[in-house]
Structure formats: structure tokens, C-alpha cells
Amino acid sequence: MKKIIFAIMAIMLSASVFSHGPTPQKVQESVTIAASPEKTWDALKNYSEFKKIMKVRSFKDKKMKIKYELIKKDVPFSDYNAQIRVKKGANDNECIVQWTARFYRTYKLNPPIPEGQDDATAVAAVKEIVGPGLAEFKRFVESK
């Protein structure tokens, strides 16, 4: 009986090795802003540039966190789930804005992966949203 159970388990485990899809990807970047967390949070809630690219899914004032999805659909990644948080910095007039995005490449099947639908392309595309977005938001807040 033990041999039969062992054989069944071995078959099940070996089959699961081949059932793999794309690996989830993550981009997380932060920027320090010379403004209080409260001022920065208020600016983030009303920042029109972000509203052009995102649809807000949840808004948590106490945690200073926004979860959103992209409006733009012609991107080389899928299942994009992101949040932007404002955290207290080293002093009262400083904060850290952290942008975390999780997503998958466009091509959901196993290799061979078509060019432009791979993990590297997806990560590069998300970094082109997150990095410049944080830099522009920093300029916006610090210029007020």
C-alpha cells in the first residue's frame, strides 16, 4: 500500500513541475520629498497627472495609501496591481513616497516567449511609468 501511495504522490509532484506560468514581477521605487507627509498626501490625492493614467481602486487616508489600476491598455504587461504610499521621513518636513507595482508579462504561456512580451520588457515598461512619475510628482510637491 505504501508503494502505491508513494507512486501516486511521485506522479502528482512530477506533473506539477510542468504546470508553470509566468512569474509575477515587481517594481518598487521610492523618493524623498521635502514636504510634510500631510501636505504630500493632499497633493497626491489631487494630482491630475496621476489621474490621467490611473483608476483608483481604494483610498486610505489614515494609511496615506492609494491602490489603483491603469487606464492605459496598450502596455507590454498585464494584471497590473499597484499602490502609492506616503510615509513619514527623517524629520517633520520630509516624507517618503513609495510606489509598488506588481504585474505579469503579456505572454502568459510557457517558452518560447515572443519578443516584446517577456519579463524584461514588462519590467522596463513599468519602470518607465514609476520612475518618471515619482520624479515629476516630487517636482510638483516641492514647487508649491
Higher pLDDT, 18 or 121: 121
pLDDT tens track for 11-66: 655 555 555 678 899 999 999 999 999 999 999 988 877 777 788 888 899 999 99
Measured distance CA(44)–CA(59) in Å, rounded: 11
* Contact present, 53 and 72 (Cβ < 8 Å): yes
Average pLDDT over residues 117-125: 95
Q: What whole-number distance in Å separates Cα of residue 105 and Cα of residue 25?
A: 8
| Domain architecture of the chain: domains with CATH | 22-142 (3.30.530.20)
Q: Is the C-alpha dihedral spanning 129, 133, 135, 136 positive or negative?
A: positive
CA atoms within 13 A on the CB side of 51: 6
Mean pLDDT taken over the chain: 87
